[in-house]
Chain A
Amino acid sequence: MIVIYLIGSFLIGAGLFFNRRKLLNYSLVGLFLVLQCVYTVYACWHYNETVSNYFTFDSLGIIMLLTATIISIPAAFHSYIYIEESEEMTPGSRATYFGALVLLIAAVSAAYMANHVAVVWIFTEITTLSASALIYHHRNKLALEGTWKYVFICAISITFVFIGILFLSLSFANSGSDDLSYKNLLLHSNSLNLSWLRLAFLFIFTGFTAKLGLFPMFTAGVDAKDKAPGPAAALLSSIVMCMGFVGIFRMYVVISNTSLLHWASLVVGIAAFISIFIAAVYMIKVKNIKRMMAYSSVEHMGLVMLGIAAGGVGYYAAILHIVLHSFVKSSLFFQYNQLYKVFKNKNISQIGNYFKYNTTGAIVVLLAFISVTAMPPSGMFVSEFLVFRSMFEANQLVLLIVVLLLLTFIIWAFAKNIFKILFTPVVDFDESKVPSISPWRSLSQFVLIGGAAYLGLNPPPIFVDLIKESIKLLPI
């Protein structure tokens, strides 16, 4: 099935790229969404089975795949609206956009399931290629700058991951095996050469941070989300980040079964703390709303990795948090397009009194803000609270207090900007040109935010079981 899925989505992508007729384009996208759903159902049906040697439908992969499928359907819908209403749309740019979109979703969905470190790496390369086509959609100077930075930093980071894989193969020195699948690595975790494993983890971790959006390679992602069209930015800040997380998490599971657990959690924790610090610093001075949302993603990834570093209940919280963050942040980016349509600007000083022009959209922004800052009725409150509890249980009280302080700054900066957008009128804003936006277009955002609240406050038992299953190999 996975071979059919990959070949099918590749053919659909190629068909989209070469065929520029409108009806055919959209029916191909529809066909891909059907294929994506069939693949997801197939994966759930064949839970814990290995297919084609390199893919295992394990619990972590299934959680992430379900998230990706749920997000990709509204992403296709909002892309349709975005492309059709764009003034500079040509049949060529539409074909390239949807071709790249299909390829991105397919590569990410395959990477979740890969059970071999080199296969994950190959699909990471493909996401770089397709994401760069999405970022360069507008074909102007700024888009080119964003794309160039993204491609260059991602190229360096996939090289880093490759070096990590080479070191990983060297760490097999004494065990007499050379199969680099995660299962085999876990099987031989006692006989791995620790000094090589240390280097391997450092390089693989650094490489995947470009996709995860964590210090040190987070800059590429921020520029990319700024320049990519809204729906593409939603995918970049949700499912691509999940892919980076899967890449790091599977490696972390291997290393946590050796005596390097403490060292690895220290590395992850330092990177996570610096990410939160950087996010706090930039959030205070940022004036571009899209970049503000991108920095908020950096902050949340920092929290996720803090949960991983703290251990215990933190593992559970980390996976819950990254899933909820994907839902909420993608809905915020979907909503961004309507905001831009009203104000034709992404500078916060030129945006204001949104409630007056698009009430439904403003409610989405408000709800998403409540979720992103993890205020109590939202789902992310639960996961963030669990992250803090895990840090408390790991006796990291000083770190916890500093992180909470930084989060206060972030919430203050976020709230200042969001309330400006929602309530404060802009001086000399021409109201006559404001288009009316159908409230139905916000439906998917409500569903995503509501889903995040439901999963956080009252998680269905099967979801809890899946998360527990995926963290069972980690030492408590």
Chain B
Amino acid sequence: MLHVLLIVFLISLFYLSIANRMTTYVNVLALQGIMLFFVAFLELKSINTINLILILLETVIFKSLAVPIFLRYVLKRNHITREAEPFVPNFVSLIITTVIVVTTIILSNTMEEGKLDKMFFVVALSTLFTGLYFIASRRKIITHVMGYLVIENGVFVLSLAVGNEMPMLVNLGIMLDIFASVLILGIFLNKIGDVFKDIDVNQLTNLKDY
């Protein structure tokens, strides 16, 4: 069951890489939050109950409710167009995502067998690099933020893998989630929406050396 969920999580990345509409991105992020809820529920068996409740609440309330609602609000308020406008065609995106996943699988096979379930490693690393790829290949600032949220989900998967031995690290991961999301989403996306009317990275090229 755990592996099925993780594989579905991986498939959601492929879906993201060919998604055209902004709302699709938001929906997939919410879905990933729910999947992380179940992964956390199934994986963290030897953790104390209060901590588990905290983690589960973070995935459901923060990742799959608060952040998507806020993203929708930003999309609406700043009249951001519905298209994602990637720099590269979707087909190329799909191929690159596939290459990333295959590379992480090969990398995971070179790692020594530790206490880590390889599936977690593959899903986490490929989510990380796919998120970085989204940041590099999309034009709107809000898609950069979504790419960052994807990275955070990947990190969360990895922290769940060690969560039974070191629950402290999962809590730190939650702290990172909330801290960075609030800093990036709350303060700056609002500010940037106010100052730059049409949010596009091409407007953020005024800092130059000459």
Contact = CB atoms under 8 A, between A and B. Distances in A.
Interface string B157-188: 01101100110110011011001100110001
A169 B176 contact: no
Contacts of A178: 165-166
A170 B206 CA distance: 43
A132 B114 CA distance: 39
A170 B162 CA distance: 7
A374 B161 CA distance: 49
B188 A166 contact: no
B168 A193 contact: no
Contacts of A171: 114
B195 interface: yes
Interface residues of A, number: 44
A288 interface: yes
B50 to A, nearest CB: 20
B28 to A, nearest CB: 19
A169 B207 contact: no
Interface stretch (A121-129, A363-371, A380-388, A440-448): A121-129
Interface centre among B158, B172, B188, B209 (most CB of A within 10 A): B209
A35 interface: no
A62 interface: no
B101 to A, nearest CB: 17
Contacts of B168: 118
B209 A155 contact: no
B5 interface: no
Given A118-B172, A144-B192, A163-B158, A152 B210 contact: no
Contacts of A288: 208-210
B184 A151 contact: yes
A132 B151 contact: no
A201 to B, nearest CB: 15
Nearest to A146: B207
A128 B184 CA distance: 11
B192 A151 contact: no
Contact of B155 (A118, A136, A159, A287): A159
Contacts of B116: 170
A199 B124 CA distance: 14
A58 interface: no
Interface in A196-245: 196, 199, 223, 226-227
A162 interface: yes
Contacts of A125: 175-176, 179-180
Contacts, number: 110
A145 B115 contact: no
Contact of B148 (A136, A155, A162): A155
A286 B151 CA distance: 34
B209 A142 contact: no
Given A151-B188, A158-B176, A159-B152, A166 B207 contact: no
A162 B151 CA distance: 12
A223 to B, nearest CB: 5
B155 A162 contact: yes
A227 B206 CA distance: 12
B65 to A, nearest CB: 21
A166 B184 contact: no
B19 to A, nearest CB: 21
Contact of A166 (B110, B115, B148, B159): B159
A285 B209 contact: yes
A43 to B, nearest CB: 26
Interface in A158-180: 158-159, 162-163, 165-166, 169-171, 173, 178
Given A195-B112, A196-B111, A288-B209, A166 B169 contact: yes
B162 A152 contact: no
A151 B191 CA distance: 13
A199 B179 CA distance: 25
B204 interface: yes
A193 B172 CA distance: 23
A142 B206 contact: yes
A128 B182 CA distance: 13
Contact of A173 (B115, B148, B151, B161): B115
Contact of A141 (B165, B206, B208): B206
A189 interface: no
B183 A128 contact: yes
Interface string B1-12: 000000000000
B128 interface: yes
A357 interface: no
Given A169-B162, A170-B116, A173-B115, A155 B192 contact: no
A163 B161 CA distance: 12
A226 B207 contact: yes
A274 to B, nearest CB: 18
Given A144-B192, A170-B115, A223 B209 contact: no
Interface string B187-210: 010011001100000001011111
Contact of B162 (A149, A156, A158, A166): A166
Contacts of B152: 159
A291 B195 contact: no
A445 B185 CA distance: 39
Interface of B: 110-112, 114-116, 128, 132, 135, 141, 144, 148, 151-152, 155, 158-159, 161-162, 165-166, 168-169, 172-173, 175-176, 179-180, 183-184, 188, 191-192, 195-196, 204, 206-210
20 contacts: A121-B172, A148-B141, A149-B204, A152-B144, A158-B176, A162-B176, A166-B161, A166-B169, A169-B166, A170-B115, A193-B112, A196-B111, A196-B112, A199-B111, A223-B207, A282-B209, A285-B209, A286-B209, A288-B209, A291-B209
Complex A-B, nearest 3 residue pairs according to Cβ-Cβ distance, in ascending order = A287-B210, A173-B114, A286-B209
Interface of A: 118, 121-122, 125, 128-129, 132, 136, 141-142, 144-149, 151-152, 155-156, 158-159, 162-163, 165-166, 169-171, 173, 178, 193, 195-196, 199, 223, 226-227, 282, 285-288, 291
